Structure 1
Amino acid sequence: MANAFIPKGQKALIVGAGTAGMSSGITLSQLGVEVDLIDINPHWGALGAGITITGPTLRALKHLGVYDEVAAQAYVGEGIQVCDTQGNPLRTLPTPMPPEEGIGSSGGIMRPALHAIIENKARALGLDIRLGLTVSALDQDEDGVDVTFSDGSRGRYDFVIGADGVFSGVRGLIFPDAPKPEYTGQSAWRLFVERPPEVERRTYFLGGPAKVGLTPVSDTHMYMFLLERTPKVFLKDEELAAELAKKLVGYGGIIQRLADALDKASLINFRPLEAFVLPSPWYKGRVLLIGDASHPTTPQLASGAGMGIEDALVLAEELARSESIEETYARFMGRRIGRCRLVTECSMELGRLEQARAPVESQTAVVERALARLAEPI
């Protein structure tokens, strides 16, 4: 789909080659836009933690054209099992998606696997991804953006997309007074292990001092996550197993078995959670922020990656039907701000409820309400 605004030679720079950035590279290239995609990390690639993928994220991956590859490598299923701290089932939360979508409504995948699938799609379209490079200056006029890169080289683009994450350098250039990421009061643990047959779907263990859960990421593996209230701390790798074991005291069933098996060889990831709310609009002139650069979220609704992919889809749709970049960005904001704010606000609400050890029913009600809204069309 094209219009007079997208002639041959329209050129875009995408800063950040993560999920949102690569997805934007794909959708814009399919419109005929010439895309330069860069990433500051010279050792570019995703870390090894697993991630949860919701039904809306699976739908976005389908629209991106990679659902079949994801489903072949990931866990894709239905529902979320809610248990008490001893593993006794309490209820199963539905994960609604319209049946006509023809996709699963809940899932999980290893982040490097998802990264590789989207990268392969981008490479197949001929995208050139330059690494160890970012931008140091952006100078705009009515017709385009002059970019100075971190290696001293320069380029000119019709528009620029900042997809460079929660600590976005592009955001700092166009909004120097924007809020900075702040610690939410929670930290997240992830433990990567083999998946036993009894783990049939995503599972929460609620009612304890922390929120604990299991997410299958393939037929053979899963990860356990734990969200805890704690002062902001950083731990050495050799400390992780012993510290995680302490957090799991009092849990029974499969969680106790996982705790008992922890040792220094266990694959554990630990990080403090940081977020902020960026006021609207998320653009200035011809430079637009997407993904975590504009609407970072904590992991409670497992929708960060999905929102970034949706950004890419919506941006391309609005670019194809608009008469100017100003109209494109305004229409983009009209479609995205409410949906992205729903994710960030509900995720933060869940974080507060978890830290307050609110009743299970209060926590699951927020999840159900948010998932029902997110199942609606983008």
Structure 2
Amino acid sequence: MTRESISSVQVALIVGGGIGGMAAAIALSERGVKVEIVDLDPEWRVYGAGITITGPTLRAYRRLGLLDAIKQQGAITNKTRLFKYDGTHLHDLEEPVIEEGLPATGGIMRPILHRIMQKRVKELEIPVRLGLTVTALENEGDEVAVTFSDGSNARYGLVVGSDSVASAVRDLAFPHMAPAVPTGQGCWRISIRKPPGLEYGEFYLGHENPCGITACAPDSVYMWMLTRHEERERFMDEEELYNELKRLLADFGGNAGWIRDNMTRQDWINYRPLAAVLQPKPWYNGRIVLLGDAVHATTPHLASGAGMAVESGIVLAEELAAAASAEAGLLAYQERRYPRCKDVIDSSVSVGRLQLAHGDPREHAHILEGALSRLNEPF
């Protein structure tokens, strides 16, 4: 596919080589920008269990040319099954196909998704420097003077901060922004072999701690569970994580119960408190701009955090290509992304509040169905 080239930016720095940063790097590079990536992790790793990939997220990955690899290395389906927490089947949700030839939904292990994107970055010959971040940024006309954590300096026509919810770029260049706000919930995740009877994604409802299972490969799944977050004096060790998740699953039947009965201490288990924020405008300062969790961090209720980051990387490149100047392109990017990201964050946080208050499940469904329907619209 022919991409309209970007004339207002010749060289760009991407700070943060995660999903959003790589999406921006790919989209900018394909439009003629010379891109560099720096990432703080010297091994350029990603931790985590699986990731649910909704139809809108798959659509964004198709725009990057990565859909086939995701289909080959992940798991694709067209249905989500709803159960009462004890395993009683309630209803099947048929996932709509939002574009011809596009799978409805699916899942993939996060490290595998990372490797798919890393492979494309390497194919585009985008330099990646690891164990590095930025310590100073200064707008100077149509360039940004950058000081790196190793003491070196360079100049770029654009700096993209995609360096996580704890963004160094945001701290340096956006004093009107603040850290993400805890929501009061926490998310448990476990990666485990696939239960014998699982064919589709599954949600377990009606319990104070809802959970779900997503297939990520022919033989593996991840399960998530949302609970009220309780502050602890220290992080739980592997033994405590195992015992606590097993206890939380005590009431569950179906494949959630199977996971409880078959999980071992060798299965990857993680817990983290949830936080979210839609940062106030402006999202850009001169030639410095933010995307992903650095500026629109959400919770997993709509399974759209990664999708929003990928979309933002694509939209940034599209608007820079369409605009007469970099400044006009950054403004257009901000205005195009702000309402969509706001909708995702507001809807996700609202569902979390209802869960904490043991609200009416019908209200949960109403919020989720409305938000998911809007997500299916073009971005």
TM-score (norm 1): 0.96
Query: Which range moves more in the overlay, 174-183 or 75-84?
Result: 174-183
Q: Deviations over 1:28-48 (max 9, x none)?
A: 111111111100111211114
Is 1:242–2:240 an aligned residue pair? no
Structure 1 residues 259 and 153, CA gap change in structure 2 (3 angstroms): same
Q: Which residue of 1 aligns with 2:148?
A: 149
CA distance in structure 1 between the aligned counterparts of 2:199 and 2:258, rounded to whole angstroms? 17
Note the 1:1-378 alignment, pairs <5 A: 1-2=3-4, 5-6=7-8, 10-100=10-100, 102-233=101-232, 234-378=235-379
CA distance in structure 2 between the aligned counterparts of 1:192 and 1:4, rounded to whole angstroms? 41
Query: Which range moves more in the overlay, 84-93 or 249-258?
Result: 249-258
Contact between 1:148 and 1:155, CA under 8 Å: does it hold in 2? yes
Corresponding residue SS for 2:296? coil
Query: Which range moves more in the overlay, 122-131 or 361-370?
Result: 361-370
Query: Which range moves more in the overlay, 137-146 or 173-182?
Result: 173-182
Contact between 1:82 and 1:205, CA under 8 Å: does it hold in 2? yes
Match for 1:28: what amino acid?
A: L
Corresponding residue SS for 2:191? strand
CA distance in structure 2 between the aligned counterparts of 1:357 and 1:93, rounded to whole angstroms? 23
Structure 1 residues 2 and 252, CA gap change in structure 2 (3 angstroms): closer
Q: Deviations over 1:163-221 (max 9, x none)?
A: 00100000001113411123211111111111134222111100012011111101111
Corresponding residue SS for 1:217? strand
CA distance in structure 2 between the aligned counterparts of 1:130 and 1:296, rounded to whole angstroms? 25
CA distance in structure 2 between the aligned counterparts of 1:99 and 1:310, rounded to whole angstroms? 16
CA distance in structure 2 between the aligned counterparts of 1:267 and 1:63, rounded to whole angstroms? 32
Runs (4 or more) in structure 1 with deviation over 3 Å come to: 1-4
What number of residue pairs does the alignment pair up? 375
Contact between 2:13 and 2:156, CA under 8 Å: does it hold in 1? yes
CA distance in structure 1 between the aligned counterparts of 2:297 and 2:97, rounded to whole angstroms? 24
CA-CA distance at 1:239 after TM superposition: 0.8
Query: Which range moves more in the overlay, 362-371 or 21-30?
Result: 362-371
Corresponding residue SS for 2:346? helix
Corresponding residue SS for 1:339? helix
TM-score (norm 2): 0.95
Contact between 2:54 and 2:304, CA under 8 Å: does it hold in 1? yes
Structure 1 residues 322 and 229, CA gap change in structure 2 (3 angstroms): same
Query: Which range moves more in the overlay, 77-86 or 193-202?
Result: 193-202
Contact between 1:188 and 1:228, CA under 8 Å: does it hold in 2? yes
CA distance in structure 2 between the aligned counterparts of 1:202 and 1:16, rounded to whole angstroms? 31
Contact between 1:56 and 1:97, CA under 8 Å: does it hold in 2? no
Corresponding residue SS for 1:276? strand
Match for 2:7: what amino acid?
A: F
Match for 1:59: what amino acid?
A: R
CA-CA distance at 1:357 after TM superposition: 1.9
Query: Which range moves more in the overlay, 154-163 or 249-258?
Result: 249-258
CA distance in structure 2 between the aligned counterparts of 1:99 and 1:61, rounded to whole angstroms? 13
Match for 2:291: what amino acid?
A: I
CA distance in structure 2 between the aligned counterparts of 1:42 and 1:232, rounded to whole angstroms? 31
CA distance in structure 2 between the aligned counterparts of 1:216 and 1:2, rounded to whole angstroms? 37
